[in-house]
Amino acid sequence: MQQSPLFCLFFLSFWAVASAQRPDYLKKDSIQSSLDGNTQVFYFDKSRASTPQPLVVELHSWSNSADSQKGMIAPQVHAKNWNFIFPNFRGVNNQPKACCSDFVLSDIDEAIDWALKNMQVDRKQIYIVGYSGGGYATLAAYMRSRHQIRAFSAWASISDLEAWYAESVERKNKYAAEIVKCIGANEVFDAQKAKARSPLFWDYPVHKRKNSLLQMYVGVHDGYTGSVPISQSINFYNKLLKDSKEKDTTRYVSAADAEILLKTRSFPAQKAPETLGNRAILYQKTSKNISLTVFEGSHDILYDQVLSRISAGHKK
């Protein structure tokens, strides 16, 4: 049976992320959690430069651990001769200490502590990057990391476990059962426990992040050919604007625009679209240092675009 071009695009994107080989220059180490003594493994690559260089912290996806995930941004970081760390932060999201728990957030911060102590890091250029479940953890770090982070790059992110549970039940995929396990709900879904693990419902540290860049990216077909509907990022973007008291209503994603994007998986263009790599950008919104970009794609991260976009965003 002949598959549609859209299916092929999604399959090739997923295959590229899932089947990439782990770079052989990555080294492995571990640290002990200050909260419970758990051993957290991580992979790292030190800059070869003699002067302090940026640090990129990449956060693994929902169904992966630091040991299992092969596709990562390490090659792009290595090419720039920057520092890189890939922490485990409780591994696969299928048990109560995972899913953006206090243990997860502490693990991520303590991995950054290790990098600052053991690498020559330019402390004004620390970047956090994540895709899917890693995007979820990136949004959580944006809200609660104790570190001053220059920029966050979140792709195909989850922000609301309560909504994602319902979406996963509807799609009959594995994630609904894993969410229940992850929030410690004793095999019965608990909306309040899900909200407690959802950045969408957390207090926004507006002052602490006023100089931090947050870039969110979503493929317009995600939720149809992918596992995370774009509403997860749209709602989080609007929440931050509301919490920061953005008065310009044109900066928000309107309910009408969201409906068009979700129902048609497109958006009317007034001119030839800009591109994200080789993908058309269908829709963009910005407010101060926060941006949302909807592009032609599915449940994707475009590794070749991440670092250049972070740098360009901070020069504006």
For 56-103, how does the pLDDT look when each residue is reduced to its tens digit (9 = 90+)?
A: 999 999 999 999 999 999 999 999 999 999 999 999 999 999 999 999
- Tokens representing 113? 């502590």
Res. 142: pLDDT tops 80: yes
Among positive and negative, which fits the CA dihedral 31, 124, 300, 164?
Answer: positive
118 φ/ψ angles, rounded to the nearest 5 degrees: -110, -5
Res. 124: pLDDT tops 50: yes
Report pLDDT digits (tens) over 211-254: 999 999 999 999 999 999 999 999 999 999 999 999 999 999 99
* 291/215 Cα distance (integer angstroms): 5
Res. 2: pLDDT tops 60: no
- For residues 57 and 87, the answer to whether their CB atoms sit within 8 Å is yes
- Residue 270 burial by CB count (10 A; 0-12/13-18/19+): exposed, middle or buried? exposed
- Residue 165 burial by CB count (10 A; 0-12/13-18/19+): exposed, middle or buried? buried
pLDDT at 215: 98
Chain centroid to Cα 170, Å, comes to 23
- Tokens representing 111? 């991995």
Res. 9: pLDDT tops 70: no
- For residues 301 and 309, the answer to whether their CB atoms sit within 8 Å is no
**Count of other CB atoms within 10 angstroms of residue 6:** 15
pTM: 0.93
Half-sphere exposure of 39 (CA within 13 A, CB side): 4
- Closest listed residue to residue 218, CA positions, set 202, 209, 207, 229: 229
* 11/53 Cα distance (integer angstroms): 36
pLDDT at 48: 97
- Tokens representing 153? 């790059």
3-state secondary structure the chain: CCCCHHHHHHHHHHHHHHHCCCCCCCEEEEEECCCCCCEEEEEEECCCCCCCEEEEEEECCCCCCCCCCCCCCHHHHHHHCCEEEEECCCCCCCCCCCCCCHHHHHHHHHHHHHHHHHCCEEEEEEEEEEECHHHHHHHHHHHHCCCCCCEEEEECCCCCHHHHHHHHHHHCCCHHHHHHHHCCCCCCCCHHHHHHCCHHHCCCCCCCCCCCEEEEEEECCCCCCCCCCCHHHHHHHHHHHHHCCCCCHHHCCCHHHHHHHHHHCCCCCCCCCCEECCEEEEEEEEECCEEEEEECCCCCCCHHHHHHHHHHHHHC
- Kindly calculate the radius of gyration of the chain based on its CA atoms and give it in whole angstroms: 19
Instruction: Grade residue 20 by pLDDT with cuts at 50, 70 and 90.
Output: low
Report pLDDT digits (tens) over 163-179: 999 999 999 999 999 99
Kindly report the CA angle at 232 between 181 and 15, in degrees rounded to 5?
75
pLDDT at 74: 98
Domains of the chain (ranges, CATH numbers): 5-315 (3.40.50.1820)
With left for phi above 0 and alpha for psi between -120 and 50, is residue 277 left, alpha or beta? left
